[in-house]
């Protein structure tokens, strides 16, 4: 039974008790006044409980959305990273190779000629990036971050459509005066145990940045971890990188 049903049940019980008491006793003015006051107090307590529950729920949703916004910003603002060693095996099909990370239990297909960079682990966070050899703002990154005990599954963030809408609206600052970052949701879907989100980001006077993102969750045996895969390219580089980045992000798998 949910919070709303609980509150309705409480109200029904309170009302029934008041009605039963009134039927058993004389309806003196003083007694009616006393019962009226008790009824008001009872419903005030119910309303206070409802407000408290709603406030807790809204705070929990806001906090979860902020967690995801932080993770996505980490991936979408990534441009370059120092190259590091990592295990990889080659897949010759369509000029892609499979990168496997045995310690973090994921794999992803990346363009054959792209470089791999791994950041130094920082507490519960690690970053792995894939980027072209030529100078470019386009790349794919995998950010892994530890989660609190209240995040037990991906649905803890909400259903994919509602989550994506809330997330992108949380990034959008185009309504400010002067306008800030404009964020636009393009697509969202769930599949293979992951959330897939497509959206765009554009600062005033700058090129539009297109984002493909895959979000998943897995446990390392001690705590749950959030995997945020972010592929990005500038609008003017769409013909060169769009299909590569889209395929790379959609190939991400946890094992």
Residue-wise pLDDT tens digits, 134-172 = 989 999 999 999 988 888 899 998 999 999 999 999 999
Beta-sheet pairing, 106-111 with 253-254: antiparallel
Half-sphere CA count of 109, side-chain side, radius 13 A: 15
Measured between alpha carbons, how far is 248 from 253 in angstroms, rounded to an integer? 11
Do both 112 and 213 map to the same domain?
yes
Do both 142 and 26 map to the same domain?
no
Do both 56 and 67 map to the same domain?
no
Q: Give the CATH number of the domain where residue 169 resides.
A: 3.40.1000.10
Decide: pTM greater than 0.85: no
Structure tokens, 24:
């058993």
- Report how many domains make up the chain: 2
pLDDT higher at 222 or 45: 222
Do both 177 and 71 map to the same domain?
yes
Do both 115 and 215 map to the same domain?
yes
Residue-wise pLDDT tens digits, 237-255 = 999 999 999 999 999 999 9
**Domain limit, last residue, from 60, 85, 109:** 60
Domain around 168 = 63-254
- C-alpha distances out from residue 238 to 77, 110, 129, 233, 234, Å: 18, 17, 19, 7, 7
Look at residue 28 and tell me whether its pLDDT is greater than 60.
no
Do both 14 and 120 map to the same domain?
no
Do both 22 and 119 map to the same domain?
no
């Amino acid at each position: 039974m949910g919070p709303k049903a609980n509150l309705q049940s409480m109200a029904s019980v309170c009302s029934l008790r008041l009605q039963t008491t009134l039927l058993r006793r004389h309806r003196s003015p003083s007694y009616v006044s006393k019962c009226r006051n008790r009824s008001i107090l009872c419903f005030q307590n119910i309303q206070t409980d409802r407000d408290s529950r709603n406030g807790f729920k809204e705070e929990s949703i806001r906090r979860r959305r902020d967690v995801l916004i932080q993770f996505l910003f980490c991936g979408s603002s990534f441009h370059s990273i120092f190259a590091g060693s990592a295990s990889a095996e080659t897949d010759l099909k369509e000029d892609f190779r499979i990168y496997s990370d045995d310690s973090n239990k994921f794999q992803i297909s990346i363009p054959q000629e792209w470089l791999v960079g791994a950041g130094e682990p920082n507490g519960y966070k690690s970053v792995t990036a894939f980027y072209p050899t030529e100078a470019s703002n386009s790349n794919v990154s995998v950010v892994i971050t530890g989660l609190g005990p209240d995040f037990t599954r991906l649905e803890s963030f909400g259903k994919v459509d509602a989550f994506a809408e809330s997330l992108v609206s949380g990034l959008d600052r185009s309504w400010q005066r002067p306008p800030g970052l404009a964020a636009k949701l393009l697509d969202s879907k769930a599949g293979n145990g992951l959330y897939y989100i497509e959206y765009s980001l554009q600062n005033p006077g700058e090129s539009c940045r297109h984002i493909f993102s895959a979000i998943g969750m897995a446990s390392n045996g001690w705590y749950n971890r959030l995997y945020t895969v972010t592929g990005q390219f500038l609008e003017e580089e769409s013909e060169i990188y769009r299909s590569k980045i889209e395929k790379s992000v959609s190939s991400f798998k946890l094992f």
